[in-house]
Amino acid sequence: MTETSTYAPKPEFVAQANVSGMEAYRELYRRAEETPEEFWAEVAEREFDWFEKWSHVFEWNPPFAKWFVGAKTNVAYNCLDRHLKNGRAQKIAILWEGEPGDERKITYQELHSMVCRFANVLKNRGYKSGDRAIIYMPMIPELPVAMLACARLGITHSVVFGGFSAEALKARIKDLGATVVITADGGWRRAKEVKLKAAVDEALLECPDVRDVIVRKRTGSDIPMKDGRDHWWHDLEEGVSSECPAEPVDAEHPLYVLYTSGTTGQPKGILHTTGGYMVQTTATMRWVFDLKENDVYWCSADIGWVTGHSYIVYGPLAAGATTVIYEGAPDTPAFDRWWSIVERHRITILYTSPTAIRALIRQGDEWPNKHDLSSLRLLGSVGEPINPAAWEWYYRVIGKQRCPIVDTWWQTETGSIMIAPLPGAIPTKPGSGTLPLPGVLPQVVDMSGKPVGVDQEGFLVIRRPWPAMIRTIWGDPKRYESQYWGRVPGVYFTGDAARCDADGYYWILGRVDDVMNVSGHRLSTMEVESALVRHPAVAEAAVVGKPHEITGQAVCCFVTLKQGNHDHNALGTELRKWVAHEIGAFARPEEIRFTEALPKTRSGKIMRRLLREIVTTRTVTGDVTTLEDLTVVTRLAAQRDEE
């Protein structure tokens, strides 16, 4: 991470930007820091409709926060009804493409009708504010419809990613206390059907509290339906009204619970509430993506992850955007599927993950170069730190050196983007998330909470509560307090290692448990990975520490290569020398393993925890329900045994 390249915003972009120039950013940030309640109240009043106004903006009983105390609003109302009154009724809200090639364009008026009808379906089945629903669906428009219908009635929802197993689904149903499951017969992924209803049936063998299963027909496959419990979505909608008033709910009403795996592998339910989440997520849409009325915005994440909640559904729709949803895989039917989507739908903003970028790099430049990508005006990155080599490729090959890149840092727990460049204001440095957004006060500290020096590695904390923050862990407030507010007293502990350079730019180095200690040197796995992918033969790398009797830990690297013929023995030697040259002799990898694929979640994150298990115990015992392809881990473990 030694690159010093800086890319200033282009004057033509600055001229039209929502936040134009560094002085505008500094003034926005200053106001949010000095008068936070006044600042957020102004954003909330300007952007949203409230049924009742708040008595006060903020209440803090550490570690529990409340925002817009006493206010009544509704997220679905602000995502839909508000736009019908302001001239967006006929604007495309959702532009959807299925993996087989089917398409739907749904206006705000049509989406409003769809949401109201399904809300009436839920209401007719007896569901009301305070109830909980599990949504387990493919990436089809009915997924956001189900979310918004729940929000409209005050039903707290939890979207379970469609790649989860029946066992993982069962655990989430039970923990949430859900009484209704909304699903589909299946979905398409790499031209194969992902059978969702079958997983629901298996999960519900041990979930007696679920009264109803509502099934949307997508693939048309033959599925069993249990009398009295299972209902076809289209049957329940017959003759149902497309008018359903939005339920006024408290600003602190639970909007959704999203389960995420902790370091123990035990899922924990992250609770986000209504008012503060809505306000900050929508504000960041405008700041970070420089959103304009005519933009066609595509976030390539799955809605089952927080990125999909905040930046496919709630943020874009509250901001009145056209949001693109794609059902399938980026390599189906070929490696140019994404670029075909960009070209055909004239996408202007693309927000994706570094893992996806590296996978696309591996396939070669000819795939994007076959397509007209001139509609793009802004690129974004999310999920984990983007290494400088991938940043440069993204900028050069996809953005044609025209498009600013917003490299965003945030978490499931933060609810919205926290650190990112504002594209018309902040010069970017490849690999750095740059500066914090208004209202976000980060710091890099040691474990006692003392700030570390410039360019010194430490723990990233947030010094002040923010509107979209996690409110608690569902059903476990003590775990919330100890995990997030007890590690470094008085501040939110992110669990990420970071450093802050002389310009105040933040460099996220990965999870704290992704920091190795080699012969007394603290070494970030991200730093070694960045060095490896700068080598012209390397497409992607994942680095973990393994126990070593002399150095404490040794550097173990898993590497995938770009296409071509490679001598693994010679290349392994070359890469060890390369890392030593790029970082220092102490960082020289002890072991480099070449592999066809790395273990990843469907959101694109490399599961380094599993790689650590493989190199230390040769077995995998932790939670693997988030894996996209379990066989990757099986092959890596088998490879170890053969050695």
pLDDT, one tens digit per residue, over 25-47 is 999 999 999 999 999 999 999 99
Asked whether residue 75 is domain-assigned, the answer is: no
Q: Among candidates 439, 543, 637, which has minimal Cα distance to 37?
A: 439
Collect all residues with Cβ–Cβ distance below 8 Å to 62 and sequence separation of at least 6: 485, 490
Number of helices followed by number of strands (H, E) in the chain: 22, 30
List the structure tokens of 575: 């890469």
In the structure, what pLDDT confidence band is assigned to residue 96 with cuts at 50, 70 and 90? Answer: very high
The pLDDT tens digits of the residues spanning 513-541 come to: 676 767 656 577 877 888 899 899 999 99
Q: Are residues 569 and 556 in the same domain?
A: yes
Same domain assignment for residues 490 and 470: yes
Segment 596-606 mean pLDDT: 78
CATH code of the domain in which 508 resides: 2.30.38.10
Phi, psi of 2 (to 5 degrees): -100, 0
**CATH code of residue 594:** 3.30.300.30
- Coil, strand, or helix at residue 424? coil
Shared-domain flag, residues 580 and 610:
yes
Task: Report how many domains make up the chain.
Answer: 2
Does any domain span residue 632?
yes
Between CA 45 and CA 198 the distance in angstroms is 46
Does residue 591 form part of some domain? yes
The model's confidence at residue 635, banded by pLDDT at 50, 70 and 90, is: confident
Output phi, psi for 147, to 5 deg. Answer: -60, -50
Residues 530 and 615 in one domain: yes
489 vs 79, higher pLDDT: 79
CA 198 to chain centroid: 27
Q: Does 581 share its domain with 526?
A: yes
Task: Note whether 353 and 301 are within 8 A (CB).
Answer: yes
Looking at residue 486, the DSSP 8-state letter turns out to be: T
Same domain, 504 and 579: no
Average confidence (pLDDT) over 63-81: 98
Please tell me the predicted confidence (pLDDT) of residue 1: 40
Give the residue-averaged pLDDT of 124-146: 98
DSSP H helices, 517-585, are 525-533, 568-582
Predicted confidence band of residue 2 (pLDDT cuts 50, 70, 90): very low
**Domain extent at residue 533:** 519-642
Q: Is residue 361 part of a domain?
A: no
Confirm whether 633 is domain-assigned.
yes
As given in the structure block, the two tokens for residue 339 are: 């670029």
Q: Which H, E and C letters describe 372-383, residue by residue? A: CCCCCCEEEECC
- Asked if residue 603 and residue 506 are part of one domain, the reply reads no
Last residue of a domain, one of 474, 495, 516: 516
Query: Contact 118/237 with Cβ under 8 angstroms?
Result: yes
Is 467 in the same domain as 555? no
pLDDT for the residue 627? 63
Q: State whether 507 and 535 are in the same domain.
A: no
562: closest CA among 366, 341, 345?
366
Domain stop point among 516, 548, 571: 516
Residue 581, pLDDT score: 82
C-beta of residue 553 within 8 angstroms of C-beta of residue 517:
yes
- Give the model's pLDDT for residue 531: 85
pLDDT in tens, 530-569: 889 989 999 999 999 888 766 678 899 999 999 888 899 9
The mean of the pLDDT values for the chain is 92
Question: Percent of the chain, pLDDT > 90?
Answer: 77
Same domain, 475 and 544: no
CA distance 332 to 99: 7
- Residue-wise pLDDT for 390-413, tens only, equals 999 999 999 999 999 999 999 999
Q: What is the percent of the chain with per-residue pLDDT over 70, rounded to a whole number?
A: 93
Q: How far apart are CA 80 and CA 85, in angstroms?
A: 9
**312 domain residue, yes or no:** no
Using CA of residue 260, residue 171, residue 211, residue 474, what is the dihedral sign?
negative
Looking at 516, 532, 560, which one is the last position of a domain? 516
Residues 630 and 530 in one domain: yes
Q: How far apart are CA 495 and CA 514, in angstroms?
A: 10
Question: What would the two tokens of residue 188 be?
Answer: 């398409």
Q: Where are the alpha helices (DSSP H) in 154-192?
A: 166-176
Beta strands 230-232 and 212-216 are parallel
Q: What is the pTM of this model?
A: 0.85
Tens-place pLDDT, residues 137-162: 999 999 999 999 999 999 999 999 88
Tell whether 531 is covered by a domain: yes
User: How do residues 350-390 score in pLDDT, each as one tens digit?
Assistant: 999 887 898 889 889 999 999 999 999 999 999 877 888 89
Calpha distance 184→200 (Å, rounded): 10
Query: Is 536 in the same domain as 505?
Result: no
Residue 576 pLDDT level (bands cut at 50, 70, 90): very high
Main-chain phi, psi angles of 326, to 5 degrees: -120, 135
Task: List the structure tokens of 134.
Answer: 């599990």
Q: How many residues does the chain have?
A: 643
Note if the bond before 333 is cis, omega within 30 degrees: yes
Instruction: Please enumerate in sequence order all residues whose Cβ is within 8 A of that of 157, keeping only pairs 6 or more positions apart, or say none.
Output: 132, 133, 134, 135, 146, 147, 150, 151, 255, 256, 257
Rg (CA), the chain: 24
Residue 606, domain member (yes or no)? yes
* Nearest one of 266, 246, 251 to 79, comparing CA atoms: 246
Torsions phi, psi of 271, nearest 5?
A: -95, 125
Q: What is the mean pLDDT of residues 215-240?
A: 98
pLDDT in tens, 318-332: 999 999 999 999 999
